[in-house]
Amino acid sequence: MLSTMPNIDTKLKLKISGLTRSARIMRAMTFYIPVIILVLLVLTAIFAPWLAPHDPIKVSLLERRLPPAFVEGGSMKYLLGTDSLGRDILSRAIYGARISLSVSLLVIAATAFVGTALGIAAGYLGGRTEAFLMRFTDISMAFPGLVLAMLLSVSIGPGFFTVVLALSILGWAPYARLIRGETLRLRNSDFVAQARINGASAWRIMLIHIFPNVINPLIIVMTMAVGFMILAEAALSYLGIGIPPPDPSWGSMVADGRGDIDRAWWISTFPGILIALVVLSGNFFGDWLRDKMDPRLRQL
Amino acid sequence: MTTKRDIVLQVEDLQTTFFTRAGEFKAVGGISFYVREGETFGLVGESACGKTVTGLSLLRLLPEPAGRIVGGKITLDGIDILKLSKKQMREVRGKRISMILQDPMTSLNPVYTVGDQIGESVRLHQGLRDDMVEDEVISALRLLRIPAPEQRLRDYPFQLSGGMRQRVVGSIAMSCRPRLLIADEPTTALDATIQAQYIALFKDIQKQTDVAIIFITHDFGVVANICDRVAVMYAGKIVETASTSTIFKRSKHPYTSALIRSVPRLDRKDDQLYSIEGQPPSLLNLPPGCRFAPRCPDVMDICLKEQPPVVEISEGHSVSCWKEKK
């Protein structure tokens, strides 16, 4: 027995440091680059008025469709060029970060709250409450999201809060499902039984005993939703049922440049690149967090 | 035990049934017993004989909506527990009756410190200020002889060993000084030496606090160590109740005798361990007569037809068997 021990040891070591140098660098990159991008995004959103070189909604018809500084005919005044109304693309993109970030954070907060509350209630109370809540969730997931967004946009008018409302109504169901599943597991655990034995009420058990135990998966799903919500806001704005002009949203900026794609590619391209970068970073960071916090969710 | 102490808990004809799609499981089929102050009452039987369901029935914590108490009366210090409202019942739980579960590894909430979890019970039932809660928590930890309680109360469950966790669970149960403690196989998950320590500890706590204990177990060795009186359960019925010494020396029910014979012993040299032939009856489909009759070595005609009455053969020793009726 003893003679085999060092063998196991070396095997283990090999497994731990089994990654090649380049693979380890790659792994670190998929963490650091997304984090840096997300941090920059947050800072940009907060300090937008100081960072933006121009007023993002100021129209300058004499300076329409100016190319970016590094393209022939471009000037240092407009680093990323101007759009069809002569507005500075860089400044609009900087202010657009505010909209993207605030929409996605508000939506995530609202959906996570509603979904968690309903999920815990359904999972813990069971019976008819659960049947009703889960069918309600199914209906919500089956509802065509775009139709609802258009409906809201038409009925209460387009705007920041319409977008938040539409995405919130559409987004809570996955939380409810996840949290219900976690709650079902916890409901039958001994420590919940023990809490009941100690005389805790159903409210108390749900709030004090179950909720803290579902925070890990909750945070993971919330993080992974950041990219998705930014993309969803951009999509709505692109379709004209999101943030109304002249406020800059990356989605509406892409839409603005649609007609000029042959003569002024930069109008759509820069906000498009930003959306892709930020969404990817959000997803990479979410994946990393999931692997770090909850190996059980790895197969999701 | 010369002077008779007050009866803390009186259970009369308790019947608990689980209503499921497959039918009605009569998990507890009409059992009666009582427990006195400062006494340890053992509830012994094999798996699935209704021991735990009895314990949960006393707390009215059966898994709803399937499990229901369908008959009988439970009296705690003169109060009929089955007539209390849900809110009143919550006040009974943890304060007057508490329970220790089998597995200490899972019965503590992983996200709270030991102090928070003991404090929860104290806060729920005594409405104390925070600084006084901590005093109560420390005194509960002291009661279970947990070393350095001031430090331990800041520990999380994962930082403690199994034996220590079970002591913490005990501290929670004892934190409000309940009248009745239901211990559902609290030593099964512990190893033999820790088990012995734990039992000694509980004897000591009982001396200090006069708590009545219902000790649910399948282990006759544990029964001999801690219980004053014992009830043997089989398929949802109590077949024999007696003092511990009577059970070991003069048990009358064939099931009790068979159960005691199937405990391995070091002082005898047996080639093969005794075991009872057959299986307990399905609780869905109980035989009309004695539930043990199909496996009983002394079975008679009447055993298969009619349920045996409870016969008191001497003071405090009652048996439910046709053999004793004659």
d(C-alpha A285, C-alpha B140), whole Å: 45
Give domain status of residue A82, yes or no.
Answer: yes
Torsion angle, CA of B84/B90/B94/B95, rounded to 10 degrees? -60
Work out how many CB contacts closer than 8 A connect A with B.
Answer: 60
**Across the interface, do B124 and A198 touch by the CB < 8 Å criterion?**
yes
Place of tokens 């930082």: B159
Residues of A in contact with B92 (CB under 8 A): 199
Q: What is the pLDDT along chain B (326 residues), one digit of tens a residue?
A: 456 788 999 999 999 999 988 888 889 989 999 999 999 999 998 888 888 899 999 999 988 778 899 999 999 999 999 999 999 999 999 899 999 988 888 889 988 999 999 998 888 888 777 788 888 899 999 999 998 988 888 999 988 988 889 899 999 999 999 999 999 988 887 888 888 888 899 899 999 999 999 999 988 888 888 999 999 999 999 999 999 999 998 888 999 988 888 887 777 776 777 888 888 888 888 888 899 988 888 888 888 888 898 888 888 899 998 888 76
**Across the interface, do B91 and A199 touch by the CB < 8 Å criterion?**
yes
Whether residue B283 contacts residue B235, with contact meaning beta carbons closer than 8 Å, is answered with yes
B173-189 CB burial, b ≥16 within 10 A, e <16:
bbbbbbbbbbbbbbbeb
Q: Beta B180-184 vs B97-100: how paired, if at all?
A: parallel
Residues of B in contact with A190 (CB under 8 A): 101, 103, 106-107
Give domain status of residue A145, yes or no.
Answer: yes
Give domain status of residue A24, yes or no.
Answer: no
Confidence of residue A300 (pLDDT cuts 50, 70, 90): very low
Cα angle for residues A36, A42, A46 (degrees, 5° grid): 145
Cβ neighbours, 10 Å, residue A50: 7
Cβ neighbours, 10 Å, residue A14: 9
B60, B99, B105, B107: best mutation site toward chain A, by most A Cβ within 10 Å? B107
What does the DSSP assignment read for B265-278? -SSS--SS-----S
In a 13 Å sphere around the CA of A248, the CA atoms on its Cβ side amount to 29
Cβ neighbours, 10 Å, residue A250: 27
Show the tokens assigned to B148: 């350095």
Q: What percent of chain A has pLDDT over 90?
A: 33
Nearest to B44 by CA among B314, B238, B282, B296: B238
Give domain status of residue A153, yes or no.
Answer: yes
B307-317 CB burial, b ≥16 within 10 A, e <16:
bbebbeeeeeb
Give domain status of residue A70, yes or no.
Answer: yes
- Interface residues of A toward B, Cβ cutoff 8 Å, are 127, 189-191, 193-201, 208-209, 212-213
**Across the interface, do A198 and B169 touch by the CB < 8 Å criterion?**
no
Structurally, chain A folds into a number of domains equal to 1
d(C-alpha A79, C-alpha A107), whole Å: 32
Give domain status of residue A268, yes or no.
Answer: yes
A118 has pLDDT over 90: yes
In a 13 Å sphere around the CA of A50, the CA atoms on its Cβ side amount to 5
Give the CATH number for residue A94. 1.10.3720.10
User: What is the pLDDT of chain A when averaged over all its residues?
Assistant: 85
In tens, the pLDDT along A56-114 reads 888 888 888 888 888 787 788 888 888 888 888 899 999 988 988 899 999 999 999 99
Evaluated on CA atoms A119, A124, A130, A133, the torsion sign reads negative
pLDDT of residue A242: 83
In tens, the pLDDT along A135-145 reads 999 998 888 88
**Across the interface, do B106 and A208 touch by the CB < 8 Å criterion?**
no
Q: Helices (DSSP H) in chain A: which residue ranges? A: 5-16, 21-46, 48-51, 89-125, 127-142, 145-156, 160-171, 173-187, 190-197, 202-204, 211-238, 250-256, 266-293
Give domain status of residue A4, yes or no.
Answer: no
d(C-alpha B149, C-alpha B128), whole Å: 19
The range of the structural domain enclosing residue A126 comes to 66-299
Residue B105, exposed/middle/buried by CB under 10 A (0-12, 13-18, 19+)? Answer: middle
Give domain status of residue A140, yes or no.
Answer: yes
What does the DSSP assignment read for A169-198? HHHSHHHHHHHHHHHHHHHTSHHHHHHHHT
Per DSSP, A83 falls in state: -
pLDDT of residue B3: 65
